[in-house]
Amino acid sequence: MFRSFLIKYGEIGVKGKNRYIFEDALMKQIKYALKKVDGEFAVTKDQGGRIFVEVKSDDYDHDAVLNALRHVFGVIAFCPVVHVEDVSIDNLRKEIVKYVDAVFEDKNFTFKINTRRAHKSYPMTSMEVDAALGEAVLTAFPGTKVDVHHPQVNIRVEIREIVHIYSQEIEGAGGMPLGTNGKTMLLLSGGIDSPVAGYMTAKRGVILDAVYFHAPPYTSDRAKQKVIDLAKLVSDYAGPVYLHIVNFTAIQMAIYEKCPHDELTIIMRRYMMRIAEHLANANDCLGLVTGESIGQVASQTLQSLYVTDSAVSSMPVYRPLIGMDKQEIVDMAEKIGTYETSILPYEDCCTIFVAKHPVTKPKREIIERSEKNLSDVIEGLLEEAYATEELVIVGRG
C-alpha cells in the first residue's frame, strides 16, 4: 500500500555547498542499502531538498525496506507514504478512511489532519481539506477524536499532482551519511568491542577499511571467517569494507622467542598498530580505530594505552568506546546485531602467546628496549606480512 518513503535527515552542518555533498552521499547510501531488498526503487530529491524512496515495482518487500532504511546513517527518521492519484475530495475522504483502517490497529486515538497544497489551484483551502478529511475519519471510527494541539497521531496530507498521505515516523540510525568524513583503518578482531567501534566511527560518516591479524595455525579458519562475518555485519551500515587480513604468526613467534613474556601482549599490540598504520597510509586512511576502553583489560590501562599509542607516529588513533562500560558496549553490540557473532567461541588470539601475568603498567623505555631484541629480524618479517596480505572485500559492491 505504501508507494514511497519520505526520508528525514539532520540539517546541522548542512548549509551551502556541503548540503549537496551531504544529500548526494545520503542518496547513494540509501541506494546501497536497498540493493538487497526485493523490488525496484528510485531515490529522488525534490526542489525543497526532500529525499524520497519511490517504489517502482508493483511488488516489494515492505519490511525489508524498513530494515534497510534503518541501516542508513544520516537518516533521522522516515515515513511510509501512501499515494492517491484521484485528488478529488470525495476520493480523498475514502482514501483517508482506508489509510487509517490499514495503519492503526487500535482505532482509539486523538488525531489531527495537516494538509499542505503544493498547487494553490486546488479548489479547497488546506483548512477546508483538514475539516473534510477529519470528519470522514471521525465518522468512520467513533473511537477517534480531534486534538489540534497535542494529537497522538498527526496525519499529513500533501496535495500535488497526486496526493501523499503519511503519519508514521520510524526512527533511523542518525549520524552522518557515509563518505562525508574521510576514511579510517579499523583494527577488527573477533571480539565484541571492535565491531561496535567500527559502527560508531562509520556513524559519523567515516568510511572503514579494516585489518585483522590472524596467526595460523594457532588461530583457526573459523576464527577468520568469524571476523569476515563481523565485517559483513558492520558493512550493512558502513558500506563495502576492505578487510586486510595479515598473517601475524611469524612476528608473534619472534616476539615470543626474543622478548620478556610479561611484555608479549603490549609488544604484540604495538606491532599490530604499526602494521595498521602502514596499511592506513597505503590506503588513504586518516586514522586508526580500535575497540579499546580504559581499564577493561590489562592491555587497556592508561599506561598500556600510552605505550600502545606511542607506536603510532603519523596519525591519530581513535577509540570511540574509551569511556564506555562493558555492559554498555554489549547493549550496543546487541542493538546493531553483531553480538551473537562476536560471542562465538573461536579464539582470535592464541593463548600460548598470552602471558600469565602481563605487565599492567608498562614503561615506554623498557618496552622499546625489549623491542630492540627484534631488530635483526623485524624488517624482514614486516615485509613478509605485507607481501602476504589477503584482501577480502565485504558488502555489496
The total number of residues written for the chain in this structure: 397
Show the binding pattern over residues 324-353: x = contacts ligand ATP (CB under 6 A), - = does not.
------------------------xx----
On whether the CB atoms of residues 26 and 9 are closer than 8 A, the answer is yes
Compare residues 191 and 320 and give the one whose CB is closer to Mg ion: 191
Encode 183-244 in three state secondary structure.
Answer: EEEEECCCCCHHHHHHHHHHHECCEEEEEEEECCCCCCHHHHHHHHHHHHHHHHHHCCEEEE
Q: Which is nearer to ligand ATP, 33 or 324 (CB)?
A: 324
By C-alpha distance, which of 13, 75, 330 is closest to 193?
A: 330
Task: Considering only the stretches 112-120, 133-141, 285-293, 381-389, report the one whose residues sit in contact with ligand ATP under the rule CB under 6 A.
Answer: 285-293
* Paired sense of beta strands 288-289 and 317-318, if any: parallel
Report helix, strand or coil for 118.
coil
194 binding partner (options ligand ATP, Mg ion, none; Cβ < 5 to 8 Å by kind): ligand ATP
Stretch that binds ligand ATP, among 70-78, 83-91, 296-304, 354-362 (CB under 6 A): 296-304
Task: State the cell numbers at 79.
Answer: 515515513
Residues in 239-278 at the binding interface with ligand ATP, rule: CB under 6 A: 272
* Identity of the residue, 30 or 245, whose beta carbon is nearer to ligand ATP in the bound complex: 245
| Crossing angle for the helix pair 16-34 and 62-69, to the nearest 10 degrees | 140
181 binds, among Mg ion, ligand ATP, none (CB under 5 to 8 A by kind): none
d(CA 273, CA 380): 17
Nearer to ligand ATP, 53 or 192 (CB): 192
Q: Which does 166 bind (CB under 5 to 8 A by kind): ligand ATP, Mg ion, none?
A: none
Of 167, 180, 189, 290, the residue at the interface with Mg ion (CB under 5 A) is: 189
Rounded to the nearest whole angstrom, what is the least distance from the CB of residue 353 to Mg ion in the complex?
13
Let me know: does 342 contact 195? Beta carbons within 8 Å: yes
Residue 212 partner contact from ligand ATP, Mg ion, none using kind-dependent CB cut-offs of 5 to 8 Å: ligand ATP
Annotate each residue in 174-213 with x if it binds ligand ATP (CB under 6 A) or - if it does not, as one string: -------------xxx-xxxx----------------xxx
The nearer residue to ligand ATP, 9 or 237, going by C-beta atoms, is 237
What the block records as the C-alpha cell of 40 is 525496484
DSSP 49-90: S-EEEEE-SS---HHHHHHHHTT-TTEEEEEEEEEES---HH
Site membership for Mg ion, residue 191 (CB under 5 A)? yes
Joined together, the cell numbers standing for residue 44 give 529522488
Binding residues (CB under 6 A) for ligand ATP: these are 187-189, 191-194, 211-213, 272, 290-292, 296-297, 299-300, 348-349
Binding residues (CB under 5 A) for Mg ion: these are 189, 191
